[in-house]
Chain A
Amino acid sequence: MDAWSRFLDAFFKWQLIERYLPAILDGMAVTVEIAAAVVITGILLGLVLAILRAFRILPLSALIVIFADMLRALPPLVLVLLVYFGLPSVGINLPSFAVLWLVLSCVLAAFAEEIFWAGILSIPKGQWEAARSTGIGFVSTLAYIVLPQAVRLTVAPLTNRTLAIAKNTALGMVIGVSEILSQATTGQSFAGNATPLTMGAIAYVILFIPVVVLGRWLETRFAWRRA
């Protein structure tokens, strides 16, 4: 066997592709489900935290800042292990996919809160004052005047950050969530061949390349233009 066919045999073996395709597709479904759940809860929670912070109630803002800082400073894998191994012994039993969802949602919420908050701060004070002086309430000013303008600044960084955290669903392998990577590594050790790993990597590229391209487009579309 020459080198090329040995390479194909190790990474793209046809029988193995056929045998492990169903498992990888199952993994893709799990990855998409968890990623979608994380994106929705994470961004919503982040938005709620940023809005609460806009009220500038000191103790509340301090708590939000501490939450956001800690979850941005800690490696997600540390949090996953902490929650996964810690909670059962205090009587809370969560299935591993729920642990992954909970941890990644909180991490995304922390980053999203900072991004939304930066967006809110970027709106000149005059906008607030003008809105308030025409008799619009605080909440309405935030909802109809400030947030719509702030979103422009947040779309690109939020997309990139969301992608980075959605990719962390691969950490599910460590605690036995049957997403793409754990299907791929299981297949690899059963088959004694790297083909399932190649399939797993390709599955991620298929899922996430559209988001990478979208993020790139948004970055140029909403680029921060200097005045």
Chain B
Amino acid sequence: MQALLQQFFDFAIMARALPLLLTGLGQTLVLCLVVIPLGLIGGLLVALTSLARSRAVRWSAAAAIDFFRAIPPLVLLIFVYAGLPFAGIRLSPLAAVAIAFLLNNSSYYGEIYRAGIESVGHGQWDAARSTGLKARQALIYVVLPQAVRNVLPDLISNTVEVVKLTSLASVVALPELLYSADMARSITFNTSPIVLAAGIYLVMLWPIVRLVSRLERRIAS
């Protein structure tokens, strides 16, 4: 029991590691600020493409979405970071993460938006267009607000997944929260810094996970 406490909950080591972890947390937040908006915008474009009138466009969008949903994000990240230099494209860890996650997250967000847009009845389109709104205005002012409201739990829960995904950046040596914690672990030979990092992730994400459960239940009932 003593050994367990010392290995996982050594508060002295946690206190020493805290400044490093907070710097890491800063990097994690920067990553989120880059990756979440990129995914949300990319996803919207993907959704609009997958709802295009031309069948060829629709099918190629679906193929691209399925392709990027079949590849683990870590594989995509390592391919972009370690593979592309062989084609003469050398990227910083941040750029590699941004590109790899854009491809991955756009597919996921895209599917959510598409479900949302499809859930808005066609009558809404027709009504909006018949009042003289252009297609783009009908989309932005009439369809999208309702679509987003319908799939809000899914959008939020996918965003939680995206925040969790940023921990993969540690594998390409981007000094975010998990990377900092693992560095502190390898210096102190003690797992407490990773426990502390887990605690920080929990503080950030647990309230959102609860919120999603509530929203989902309200929509189900």
| A188 pairs with B83, CB closer than 8 A | yes
- A227 close to B (CB within 8 Å): no
| B72 pairs with A167, CB closer than 8 A | yes
| B3 pairs with A91, CB closer than 8 A | yes
- A96 close to B (CB within 8 Å): no
What are the interface flags for A1-37 relative to B under an 8 Å C-beta threshold, 1 for contact and 0 otherwise? 0000001001100000000000000000000000000
Cβ contacts under 8 Å, A86 to chain B: 7-8, 191, 194
Interface set, chain A 156-205, CB cutoff 8 A to B: 163-164, 167-171, 173-174, 180-181, 184-185, 188, 193-194, 197-198, 200-201, 204-205
| Partner pick for B66 among A69, A114, A188, A212, CB 8 A cutoff | A212
Question: Given A90-B3, A114-B213, A121-B221 in contact, is the A75-B164 Cβ separation under 8 Å?
Answer: yes
Interface set, chain B 165-218, CB cutoff 8 A to A: 165-168, 170-171, 178, 181-182, 185, 189, 191, 194-195, 197-198, 201-202, 205-206, 208-210, 213, 216-217
* Cα of A188 to Cα of B168 in the assembled complex, Å: 20
| A89 pairs with B202, CB closer than 8 A | no
| Partner pick for A81 among B74, B87, B194, B216, CB 8 A cutoff | B194
Within the complex, what minimum Cβ distance (angstroms) separates B109 from chain A?
Answer: 14
* Cα of A11 to Cα of B84 in the assembled complex, Å: 9
- A209 close to B (CB within 8 Å): yes
| A185 pairs with B82, CB closer than 8 A | yes
Cβ contacts under 8 Å, B191 to chain A: 82, 85-86, 89
* Cα of A185 to Cα of B178 in the assembled complex, Å: 21
Cβ contacts under 8 Å, B178 to chain A: 75, 77-78, 81
Within the complex, what minimum Cβ distance (angstroms) separates B201 from chain A?
Answer: 6
- A216 close to B (CB within 8 Å): yes
What are the interface flags for A72-95 relative to B under an 8 Å C-beta threshold, 1 for contact and 0 otherwise? 111111110110011001110000
Within the complex, what minimum Cβ distance (angstroms) separates B185 from chain A?
Answer: 6
Cβ contacts under 8 Å, B168 to chain A: 75, 77
Within the complex, what minimum Cβ distance (angstroms) separates B4 from chain A?
Answer: 5
Question: Given A70-B206, A75-B167, A75-B178 in contact, is the A204-B71 Cβ separation under 8 Å?
Answer: yes
| A85 pairs with B3, CB closer than 8 A | no
Cβ contacts under 8 Å, A11 to chain B: 83, 86-87
| Partner pick for B164 among A69, A76, A211, A213, CB 8 A cutoff | A76
Pairs of residues from A and B, 7 with the lowest C-beta to C-beta distance, nearest first: A75-B167, A170-B72, A167-B72, A86-B191, A208-B70, A73-B205, A75-B164
